[in-house]
Amino acid sequence: MKFAITSKGDTESNIWMQQIRTYLQDSGLVYNEAQPDIVVSVGGDGTLLYAFHRYSSRLDRTAFVGVHTGHLGFYADWVPDEIEELVDAIAHKTYNTVEYPLLEAKISYEHGGLETRYLALNESTVKCVDGTFVIDVEINGQHFERFRGDGLCLATPSGSTAYNKALGGAIVHPSLQSIQLTEMASINNKVFRTIGSPLILPAHHTCVLKPVRQKDFLVTIDHLTLLHKEVRAIQYRVAKEKIRFARFRPLPFWKRVHDSFISD
Ligand code: NAP
Ligand code: MN
């Protein structure tokens, strides 16, 4: 079996990365950064987001597992104290995988040309560079609302505990193939109206954002922010690809929610 390790880059994470690497190699596994069967991410949830994007072209052949060197994470749910148990399991046990849904974003442009396609593990947000963000929201081809405000966020179920939560979105169990639309500070008065509530769309439904006047937008895909110019439309849906996590022990999602936000 081939493995790779990504580290947050701080001293502690780098030390653990070295230890895991040595142990797995001593157990007969092969370090292969280009084509790993399993990727161990050491750091935090942000480190796993980075690992996901690095290996997003081979999701069907790569499983992920996360170790956290800071606070408990949603993707990084092993602590350094358990590393021996974890590496032993990776080296000697057959593991199950659980699949989580991803968000697909397709951006098309006024000048024609190729559309860009992204996969997000947490979410994608859309904001404008200056002035009020105005955009038409279409759901399954039907005009839904004209949004005015700071921006919009489309999150995956596993991303629902991140930015989405800060925007008042619901926490969604990752077994639900869905995406969630939340608003950032919408303008609501007698003239302008938006729904105000977060919306959860099932698989195969589409949410398309169409510019009204300004056509340049700041689009985030997880930790990545890019300025897209002359945007014609941004289409969101549940992606056909999924991320696979290697599971060596049960750790229910609701327990992670409890331990992260209530107490551990
Ligand atoms: P960051 O600024 O270090 O991350 C912000 C925080 O979000 C960190 O505490 C991170 O955990 C945590 N986080 C990431 N994914 C999560 C998840 N699925 N559930 C719960 N918490 C999660 O930047 P980053 O590490 O590169 O992460 C990028 C993410 O930051 C974005 O995808 C977005 O969700 C989030 N974000 C949140 C807000 C907000 O809440 N207002 C604003 C902008 C961005 P770690 O410390 O373990 O990395
Ligand atoms: Mn982070």
Q: Does 142 lie in the same domain as 26?
A: no
Same domain, 35 and 152: no
- Examine the domain organization and report whether 17 and 33 are in the same domain: yes
Same domain, 54 and 106: no
State the closest ligand 1 atom to the C-alpha of 166, by its place in the atom list counted from 1: 40
Question: What whole-number distance in Å separates Cα of residue 161 and Cα of residue 174?
Answer: 11
Same domain, 115 and 166: yes
Examine the domain organization and report whether 122 and 86 are in the same domain: no
Residue-number span of the structural domain to which 145 is assigned: 102-240
Q: Model confidence over 35-86: pLDDT tens digits?
A: 999 999 999 999 999 999 999 999 999 999 999 998 888 999 899 999 999 9
Centre of ligand 2 to C-alpha 49, Å, is 9
Q: Distances in Å between the alpha carbon of 229 and those of 108, 109, 213, 253?
A: 10, 8, 12, 38
14 and 87, same domain (yes or no): yes
User: How many domains is the chain built from?
Assistant: 2
CATH code of 69's domain? 3.40.50.10330
Do residues 252 and 156 share a domain?
no
- For 163-191, what is each residue's pLDDT tens digit? 999 999 999 999 999 999 999 999 999 98
Based on the fold, state whether residues 200 and 158 are members of the same structural domain.
Answer: yes
Kindly list the protein residues whose Cβ atom lies closer than 6 A to any atom of ligand 1. Answer: 44-46, 49, 70, 73-74, 122-123, 158-159, 161-163, 166, 222-223
pTM of this structure: 0.97
Q: Are residues 225 and 157 in the same domain?
A: yes
- The secondary structure of 40-89 as a DSSP string is EEEE-HHHHHHHHHHTGGGGGG-EEEEEESSS--SSEEE-GGGHHHHHHH
